[in-house]
C-alpha cells in the first residue's frame, strides 16, 4: 500500500486504534477506516493521514502553519492559514506579550504559528508561543527580506520539503545559502542572496510533488545552474 494512490471510498487495513488525520474517516459501527480524498497514505507516531496534491488545509492541533494577517482587532487578529475558516490569534499569544505590552502586528504580516484549537464546530485558533513555557520556539511575526518571496504550494509539496528524508533542501544548499519557513498548510517563505535564485526555487517548489529524490536533485540542478 506504500506510495500507492488511494481513491475515496477505499477501506484501509489499518489498526482500529490508530489516530487518523485529514483524508481519512473512521466508521463508528465497525471501526474500519476509509479514504475520503485521493492521495497517498502516510503515517508516523501511531497516526495516519492522506497526502495528495490538494491546496486546502484542514487544521490539526499541533500543526505549525504560516499565515497572513487579514483582519486586526484590539485583542486578536484573524489569520488566513488556507483553511475553510480564518484562524484567530490572540495578541497575548506571543512571548513576553501582556495587555500593556502587546506585540506589533499589522495587516499583511506573515506569522509562523501553532494550531491550538482544531474542532469541527469551532473556528481554528493559533498561538505564537509554547503555552507551557511561554517561549517563542521560533514562532512569531516573520519579517521578509529584500530577496524573499512568499508562495502557496500544495500540501504534499510542503510536507515533502519538511521531511528530513527529502533531498530538496540539500540540493538547493549546494547552490548557495538560503532560508525558508514552511507551514504544513502549504504557505512558504523563501529567502536567498539573489532574487533570481529565490524566484527559481519558488517556480520549481510545487513540482516536487510525487518526485523521487533523484528526480528532485535533477530538477534543482537544471533550474539553479541557469
Tens digit of pLDDT for each residue in 79-135?
Answer: 999 999 999 999 999 999 998 888 899 999 999 999 999 998 899 999 999 989 999
Residue 57 lies in a domain: no
Question: Which CATH number goes with the domain that contains 137?
Answer: 2.40.50.140
Domain housing 36: 5-51
Give yes or no for residue 138 having a pLDDT over 70: yes
My answer on whether 16 and 81 are in the same domain is: no
Beta strands in the chain (DSSP E): 5-6, 11-12, 19-20, 24-26, 33-35, 39-44, 47-51, 64-72, 76-80, 87-94, 110-117, 125-128, 140-142, 148-152, 178-182, 187-192
Confidence at residue 217, expressed as pLDDT on a 0 to 100 scale:
96
Contact (CB, 8 A) for 31 and 73? no
Q: What percent of the chain has pLDDT over 90?
A: 65
Distance CA 8, CA 22 (A): 12
Give yes or no for residue 22 having a pLDDT over 90: no
Mean pLDDT of 143-172: 94
Q: What percent of the chain has pLDDT over 70?
A: 96
My answer on whether 80 and 126 are in the same domain is: yes
How many domains, the chain?
3
Cell matching residue 170: 540539500
| 52-to-49, 204, 219 alpha-carbon distances in Å | 10, 17, 20
Output 102 or 139, whichever has higher pLDDT: 139
Question: Which CATH number goes with the domain that contains 22?
Answer: 2.40.50.100
Residue 59 lies in a domain: no
* Model pTM score: 0.79
Average model confidence (pLDDT) across the chain: 91
Handedness of CA 107, 109, 110, 116 (dihedral sign): negative
The residue out of 123, 142, 161 marking a domain boundary is 142
Cell matching residue 147: 530577496
Confidence at residue 53, expressed as pLDDT on a 0 to 100 scale:
61
My answer on whether 70 and 33 are in the same domain is: no
Distance CA 131, CA 93 (A): 8
Mean pLDDT of 59-63: 93
My answer on whether 153 and 199 are in the same domain is: yes
Bridge-based pairing of strands 19-20 and 47-51 is parallel
Please tell me the total number of residues recorded for the chain in this structure: 226
Question: Which CATH number goes with the domain that contains 210?
Answer: 3.30.1370.10
Output 27 or 201, whichever has higher pLDDT: 201
Amino acid at each position: 500500500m506504500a506510495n500507492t494512490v488511494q481513491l475515496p471510498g477505499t477501506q484501509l487495513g489499518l489498526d482500529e486504534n490508530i489516530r487518523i488525520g485529514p483524508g481519512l474517516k473512521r466508521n463508528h459501527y465497525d471501526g474500519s477506516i476509509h479514504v475520503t480524498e485521493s492521495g497517498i497514505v502516510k503515517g508516523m507516531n501511531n497516526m495516519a493521514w492522506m497526502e495528495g496534491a490538494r491546496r486546502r488545509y484542514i487544521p490539526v492541533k499541533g500543526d505549525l502553519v504560516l499565515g497572513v494577517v487579514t483582519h486586526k482587532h484590539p485583542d486578536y487578529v484573524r489569520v488566513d492559514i488556507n483553511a475553510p475558516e480564518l484562524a484567530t490569534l490572540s495578541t497575548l499569544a506571543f512571548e513576553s506579550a501582556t495587555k500593556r505590552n502587546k506585540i506589533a502586528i499589522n495587516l499583511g504580516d506573515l506569522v509562523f504559528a501553532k494550531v491550538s484549537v482544531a474542532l469541527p464546530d469551532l473556528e481554528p485558533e493559533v498561538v505564537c508561543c509554547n503555552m507551557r513555557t511561554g517561549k517563542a520556539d521560533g514562532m512569531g511575526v516573520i519579517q521578509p527580506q529584500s530577496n524573499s518571496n512568499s508562495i502557496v504550494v500544495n500540501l504534499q509539496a510542503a510536507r515533502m520539503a519538511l521531511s528530513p528524508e527529502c533531498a530538496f533542501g540539500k540540493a538547493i544548499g549546494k547552490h548557495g545559502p538560503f532560508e525558508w519557513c514552511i507551514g504544513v498548510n502549504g504557505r512558504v517563505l523563501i529567502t536567498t542572496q539573489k532574487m533570481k535564485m529565490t524566484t527559481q526555487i519558488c517556480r520549481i517548489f510545487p513540482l516536487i510533488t510525487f518526485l523521487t529524490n533523484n528526480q528532485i536533485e535533477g530538477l534543482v540542478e537544471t533550474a539553479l545552474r541557469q
